[in-house]
Homo-oligomer: A and B are copies of this chain.
Amino acid sequence: MTEQKIPKATAKRLPIYYRYLNILKDADKTRVSSTELSDAVKVDSATIRRDFSYFGALGKRGYGYDVESLLKFFKKILNQDKLTNAALIGVGNLGNALLNFNFHQNSNVRISAAFDVRPDLANTVQSGVPIYPMAELRKQLEDQQIKIVILTVPSSVAQDVTDEAIAGGVRGILNFTSLRLSVPKDVRVQNVDLTNELQTLIYFLDHYNDED
């Protein structure tokens, strides 16, 4: 499955490139240079060239990169040529905002099922997504072959819910809770910790004056 492993730092930048290439395509641009890309995505141009070079020689010297073919390449690499279904667990404040958001607009991901303990939410539909009771979590994940979960439950129940989701076959978790989840090593957790982000921002403001 793994061709040749690219650096994690590079992998995290791929979606950024991908998005900007889509914008270029929509604007009918046919070519782009690493410097131009650099301006738009705020990544050093040498880093961009280095990133791209892990996948082979994608550009042409003296010319730059062809938008169309680069886009096609990244679409495949990022699995954006097929639809990925995800489940959302915890239809509260944040969960609702995510349900309403159309991820499918600029990525080939959609939330195809949601879950919550609240009895009044069970078996309703929010923004076109059916909400199931927690009792059905495992079954639905299995039936729908869902491998990715967005976790927006209270931190206090996050580990339990996670264990259940993994039992249902989940392989990746986008974790919005403040808990650092314990998972088997073949399950990947991506933490999005908004309180942390704010605190980090404050720390940087106080301790790193301008430079970087």
* Interface positions of A (Cβ within 8 A of B): 1-3, 5-6, 8, 11-12, 14-16, 18-19, 40-42, 77-80, 84, 86, 93-94, 96-98, 100-101, 103, 106-107, 109, 147-148, 150, 171-174, 178, 180, 182, 185-186, 188, 190, 192-212
Contact across chains for B198 and A107 when beta carbons are under 8 A apart: yes
Residue ID in chain B nearest A95 by CB atoms: B97
Contact A188:B204 (CB < 8 A) given known A19-B178, A93-B97, A97-B93:
yes
Contact across chains for B210 and A185 when beta carbons are under 8 A apart: yes
Q: How many copies does the complex hold?
A: 2
Contact across chains for A203 and B78 when beta carbons are under 8 A apart: yes
CA–CA, A180 and B14, complex, Å: 14
* Minimum CB–CB distance for A88 against chain B, Å: 11
